[in-house]
């Protein structure tokens, strides 16, 4: 990384808030109803992965007509949206809101780069929509993570070059997308999941932006 860092792109699920449990419960409910094999271990593979790609991972090669797949994905999403009704500001991870406010006050551009088509709804419930200069979500681009498209779209909307941006991600597919976009990559989570990132923190509260600015 040679250029000066001017902006940060935050993944949402797993970095700003922990909705993974709600995604898990919603897929589990659908899987139980449709007799599909599913458990927490499989759920771990769905981090950062789009809704339809997630269903394909669960189906594990099982052939299902497209119409039925759409109905199943829609049903899972309806369960997930019910859970979202319960989330509030209290569901922001650790001191993430203070960290975002500090970065904003220091003049950095801030974006959300999430695979979720529910990202705006989640941000609204967390009451932090306005902190971000732009929101790139599952509706913004065609190619999902690990393709770099979503993060490149966010950088463009921020008016920044990819090399001026740092991505924070909790998913392997997201770290790969950040690297493919030629951006700084900060992993949040265990080494075995996000170890390919330039810098890794195990928890949100450990993220040190002074260190990131020094090291990337
Ligand atoms: C990501 C989650 O943020 O969004 C994935 O990590 C999820 O687990 C994906 O599948 C898509 O979310 P949605 O809300 O569009 O179904
Ligand atoms: Mg995530």
Over residues 114-146, the pLDDT tens digits come to 999 999 999 999 999 999 999 999 999 999 999
Angle at the Cα of 165 from the Cα atoms of 163 and 170, rounded to 5 degrees: 120
| Phi and psi angles of residue 184, each rounded to the nearest 5 degrees, phi first | -70, 140
First to last CA, the chain: 6
Distance 89 CA to ligand 2 centre (A): 18
206 is catalytic: no
Quick one: average pLDDT of 144-153? 97
What value does the mean pLDDT of the chain take?
Answer: 96
Helix, strand counts (H, E) of the chain: 10, 6
| Rounded distance from Cα 91 to ligand 1 centre (Å) | 17
pLDDT of residue 7: 98
Residue 111's pLDDT band, with cuts at 50, 70 and 90, is very high
Q: CB–CB of 17/204 below 8 Å?
A: no
Q: Which residue has the higher pLDDT, 2 or 5?
A: 5
Look at residue 67 and tell me whether its pLDDT is greater than 80. yes
Token reading at 172: 């392997």
Residue nearest to atom 1 of ligand 1 (CA): 48
pTM value? 0.96
Nearest Cα residue to atom 16 of ligand 1: 51
Whether the predicted pLDDT of 180 surpasses 80: yes
Query: For a pLDDT cut of 70, what percent of the chain falls above it?
Result: 99
């Amino acid at each position: 990384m040679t250029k000066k860092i001017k902006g940060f792109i935050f993944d949402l699920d797993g970095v700003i808030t922990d909705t993974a449990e709600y995604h898990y419960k919603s897929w589990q409910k659908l899987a139980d109803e449709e007799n599909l094999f599913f458990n927490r271990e499989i759920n771990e593979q769905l981090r950062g992965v789009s809704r339809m790609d997630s269903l394909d991972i669960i189906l594990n090669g099982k052939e299902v007509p497209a119409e039925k797949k759409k109905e199943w994905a829609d049903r899972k999403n309806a369960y997930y949206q019910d859970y979202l009704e319960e989330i509030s500001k209290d569901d922001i991870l650790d001191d993430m809101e203070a960290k975002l406010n500090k970065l904003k006050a220091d003049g950095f551009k801030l974006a959300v780069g999430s695979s979720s088509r529910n990202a705006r709804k989640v941000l609204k419930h967390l009451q932090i929509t306005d902190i971000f200069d732009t929101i790139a979500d599952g509706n913004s681009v065609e190619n999902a993570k690990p393709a770099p498209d979503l993060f490149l779209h966010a950088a463009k909307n921020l008016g920044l070059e990819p090399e001026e941006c740092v991505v924070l991600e909790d998913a392997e597919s997201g770290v790969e997308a950040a690297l493919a976009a030629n951006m700084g990559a900060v992993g949040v989570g265990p080494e075995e999941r996000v170890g390919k990132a330039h810098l890794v923190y195990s928890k949100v509260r450990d993220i040190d932006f002074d260190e990131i600015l020094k090291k990337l």
